């Protein structure tokens, strides 16, 4: 037993009518596990932490975040019913929460940042830059950033939004964040029209 709340004391409880010494943590757990099960059941419809390939501490963080969202929803529901307002669905609550969080960071109009050419997809933050993996040896492409730096680097990753290949990590970050890209643009080495 590990608890951040209970002392290491024991109490005498009952098991099948007989007295049994138990840690207080166990007694509390038995009294409240119904609520834990109910919480698990409520969260099973909206698991944030199910995604594979994440570090264990990210899973725990997402779980705690998810539980906090649920707790907020429960408190809001109680307040709503006390004030006799119409019921709110768990799903609608999550959608509204997500919308309001995203709205804070959404650019209200394209004029906000005049330094960015709106034709230039790569720096746009209002779009999701979707990473896409190509399979097979023949499907590797030159990393756009490495190419600019004079390196010949073949990768399987591309940004589907920008339709450009790049290494994960640094090159991806550079491509999507630097207004002035490093090196020289040598995008279409193949098939470039000569004048
Ligand atoms: Zn690269
Ligand atoms: Zn992109």
- Could you tell me the residue range of the domain that residue 39 belongs to? 10-43
Residue 129 lies in a domain: yes
Residues with CB under 5 A from ligand 1 (ion): 143, 145-146, 153, 167, 171
Looking at the fold, whether 28 and 73 belong to one and the same domain comes out as no
Q: What is the pLDDT of residues 6-23, one digit of tens each?
A: 888 998 877 788 888 999
Buried-state track 63-85, b at ≥16 Cβ within 10 A, e below 16? eeebeebbeebeeeeeeeeeeee
Residues with CB under 5 A from ligand 2 (ion): 129, 159, 161-162
Is the CB of residue 162 less than 8 Å from the CB of residue 120? no
* Count helices and strands in the chain by DSSP H and E runs: 5, 7
Looking at the fold, whether 37 and 71 belong to one and the same domain comes out as no
pLDDT of 110 higher than 80: no
Q: What is the pLDDT of residues 57-105, one digit of tens each?
A: 888 888 899 999 999 999 999 999 998 888 889 999 999 999 888 887 7
Instruction: Specify burial of residue 165 (Cβ count, 10 A radius: 0-12, 13-18, 19+).
Output: buried
The domain total for the chain is 3
Residue 111 lies in a domain: no
Residue 155 lies in a domain: yes
Residue 163 lies in a domain: yes
């Amino acid at each position: 037993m590990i608890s951040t709340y209970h002392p290491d004391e024991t109490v005498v409880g009952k098991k099948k009518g007989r007295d049994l010494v138990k840690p207080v943590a166990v007694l509390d757990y038995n009294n409240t596990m119904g609520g834990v099960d109910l919480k698990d059941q409520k969260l099973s419809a909206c698991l944030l932490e199910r995604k594979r390939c994440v570090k264990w501490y990210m899973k725990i963080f997402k779980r705690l975040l998810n539980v906090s969202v649920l707790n907020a929803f429960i408190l809001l529901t109680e307040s709503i019913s006390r004030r006799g307002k119409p019921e709110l669905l768990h799903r609608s609550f999550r959608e509204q929460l997500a919308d309001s969080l995203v709205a804070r960071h959404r650019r209200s109009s394209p004029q906000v940042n005049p330094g960015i050419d709106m034709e230039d997809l790569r720096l746009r933050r209002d779009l999701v830059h979707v990473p896409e993996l190509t399979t097979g040896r023949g499907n590797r492409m030159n990393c756009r950033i490495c190419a600019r730096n004079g390196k010949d680097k073949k990768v399987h990753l591309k940004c589907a939004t920008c339709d450009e290949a790049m290494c994960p990590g640094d090159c991806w970050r550079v491509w999507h964040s630097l207004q002035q890209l490093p090196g020289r643009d040598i995008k279409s080495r193949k098939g470039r029209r000569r004048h």
